[in-house]
């Protein structure tokens, strides 16, 4: 039985990890000024996006989920003939239409899967599941990496789904936004009032950089620092401490909306790398994709790990 993992392009993972494990990317559309990008995590497209500075001041950027019909065509062409079981993990449903559209597409696909496989000369039945990851960006990447570790264990699709959903409840995320006013404006367009105008104003006026931390998409400010570097170092120290205490899966996922030169210079990253190596923990370090860069803003970072309940301490 060949099992395939599908994630949408809000999921941040290193390109090499995606390639090595054959993860199928369900694209989103990014619209920036008069340009339209199909975000399928193609590294050349992502590099071009960054090089053009398309998230600079004055640029109007939005993301849009593929329609159910578009997703159906992708599934029928790329997924149904190549896998016996497909697991599709989407960004949290409260942040995108893609979970609903993928679920609708799945129902349409199941009605056509048998004939598509017969035409392709593929024997056996096809089945799939669409799972709301309840996560964003590096958190979604962490869940995908954990799912990959389960695929070779011979679990039934229902047991696999149960394990994935149980693990998702233990995923913690730290976000350090570079520009609070950017996030506030993005939230305003979506009707999301979770980032207040007062917080955005204070951040700009006093050069405060907050650390937003919590489970899944439910986050709260846990620290306010006077610089981006100080906030990033606190997050790296927090992750290093959790690694030393012990994680529920030996993976730390980090995505960064900046150049690789800037990523390698992040304060605390070398220490976190060393601690991960000493504790046999895989550090998945990636550049933010187009979708997550639009959502959080350029220059931001997102870190995720899985652990039992705890408080932020760094």
Res. 184: pLDDT tops 80: no
Higher-pLDDT residue of 27, 200: 27
User: What pLDDT score was predicted for residue 194?
Assistant: 59
Least confident stretch, 42-46, 49-53, 264-268, 274-278? 49-53
User: What pLDDT score was predicted for residue 229?
Assistant: 95
What whole-number percentage of the chain has pLDDT above 90?
Answer: 68
User: What pLDDT score was predicted for residue 205?
Assistant: 60
Res. 201: pLDDT tops 60: no
How far apart are the C-alpha atoms of 196 and 50, rounded to whole Å? 28
Res. 226: pLDDT tops 90: no
Task: Give pTM, 2 decimals.
Answer: 0.93
Q: Beta-carbon neighbour count of residue 153 at 10 Å?
A: 9
Identify which of 61, 149, 130 has the alpha carbon closest to the alpha carbon of residue 91. Answer: 130
Q: Are 287 and 48 in contact (CB under 8 A)?
A: no
User: What pLDDT score was predicted for residue 110?
Assistant: 95
Res. 307: pLDDT tops 90: yes
User: What pLDDT score was predicted for residue 228?
Assistant: 94
Question: pLDDT tens digits for 5-37?
Answer: 999 999 999 999 999 999 999 999 988 877 888
User: What pLDDT score was predicted for residue 313?
Assistant: 82
How far apart are the C-alpha atoms of 305 and 291, rounded to whole Å? 21
User: What pLDDT score was predicted for residue 33?
Assistant: 78
Res. 191: pLDDT tops 70: no
Res. 206: pLDDT tops 70: no
Q: Beta-carbon neighbour count of residue 25 at 10 Å?
A: 18
- Name all contacts of 266-273 with Cβ < 8 Å and 24+ positions apart: 266/232, 266/236, 266/301, 267/229, 267/230, 267/232, 267/233, 267/236, 268/232, 268/233, 268/234, 268/235, 268/236, 268/237, 268/240, 269/236, 271/236, 271/237, 271/240, 272/236, 272/239, 272/240, 272/243
Q: CA distances (Å), 139 to each of 44, 78, 144, 239, 241, in order?
A: 24, 26, 9, 13, 18
DSSP secondary structure of the chain: --EEEEEETTB---HHHHHHTTPEEE-EEEEETTEEEEES--HHHHHHHHHTTTTSTT--EEEEEPPHHHHHHHIIIIITTT-SEEEEEES-TTT-SHHHHHHHHHHHHHHHHHHHHHHTT--S--EEEEEE----BHHHHHHHHHHHHHHTTT--HHHHHHHHHHHHTTEEEEEE-S-HHHHHHHHHHHT--SS-HHHHHHHHHTT-EEEEEEETTEEEEEEEESSHHHHHHHHHHHHHHHHHH--SSSEEEEEESS-HHHHHT-TTHHHHHHHHHHTT-EEEEEE--HHHHHHH-TT-EEEEEE-SS-----
Segment 37-44 shows an average pLDDT of 89
How far apart are the C-alpha atoms of 46 and 18, rounded to whole Å? 15
Least confident stretch, 118-132, 181-195, 245-259, 279-293? 181-195
How far apart are the C-alpha atoms of 307 and 304, rounded to whole Å? 10
Higher-pLDDT residue of 50, 148: 148
User: What pLDDT score was predicted for residue 100?
Assistant: 97
Q: CA distances (Å), 94 to each of 64, 83, 107, 133, 200, in order?
A: 14, 29, 21, 11, 22
Domains of the chain (ranges; CATH) run 3-168 (3.40.50.10170), 171-306 (3.30.1180.10)
Question: pLDDT tens digits for 255-302?
Answer: 999 999 999 999 999 999 999 999 999 999 999 999 998 888 889 999
């Amino acid at each position: 039985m060949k099992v395939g993992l599908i994630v949408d392009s809000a999921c941040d993972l290193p390109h090499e990890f995606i390639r090595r494990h054959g993860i199928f990317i369900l694209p989103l559309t990014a619209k920036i000024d008069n340009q339209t990008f199909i975000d399928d995590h193609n590294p050349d497209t992502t590099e071009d996006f960054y090089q053009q500075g398309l998230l600079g001041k004055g640029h109007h950027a939005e993301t849009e989920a593929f329609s159910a019909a578009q997703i159906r065509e992708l599934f029928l062409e790329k997924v149904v003939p190549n896998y016996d079981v497909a697991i599709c993990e989407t960004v949290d449903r409260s942040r995108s239409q893609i979970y609903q559209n993928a679920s609708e597409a799945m129902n349409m696909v199941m009605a056509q899967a048998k004939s598509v496989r017969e035409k392709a000369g593929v024997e056996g039945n096809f089945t799939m599941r669409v799972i709301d990851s309840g996560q964003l960006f590096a958190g979604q990447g962490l869940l995908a990496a954990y799912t990959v570790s389960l695929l070779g264990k011979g679990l039934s699709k229902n047991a696999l789904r149960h394990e994935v959903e149980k693990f998702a409840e233990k995923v913690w995320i730290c976000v350090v936004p570079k520009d609070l006013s950017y996030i506030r404006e993005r939230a305003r367009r979506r009707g999301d009032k979770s980032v207040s105008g007062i917080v955005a104003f204070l951040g700009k006026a006093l050069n405060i950089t907050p650390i937003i931390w919590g489970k899944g998409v439910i986050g709260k400010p846990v620290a306010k620092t006077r610089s981006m570097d100080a906030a990033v170092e606190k997050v790296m120290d927090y992750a290093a401490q959790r690694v030393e205490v012990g994680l529920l899966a030996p993976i730390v996922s980090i995505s960064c909306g900046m150049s690789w030169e800037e990523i390698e210079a992040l304060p605390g990253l070398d220490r976190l790398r060393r601690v991960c190596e000493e504790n046999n923990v895989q550090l998945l370090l990636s550049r933010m994709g187009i979708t997550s860069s639009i959502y959080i803003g350029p220059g931001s970072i997102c870190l995720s790990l899985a652990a039992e309940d705890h408080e932020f301490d760094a």
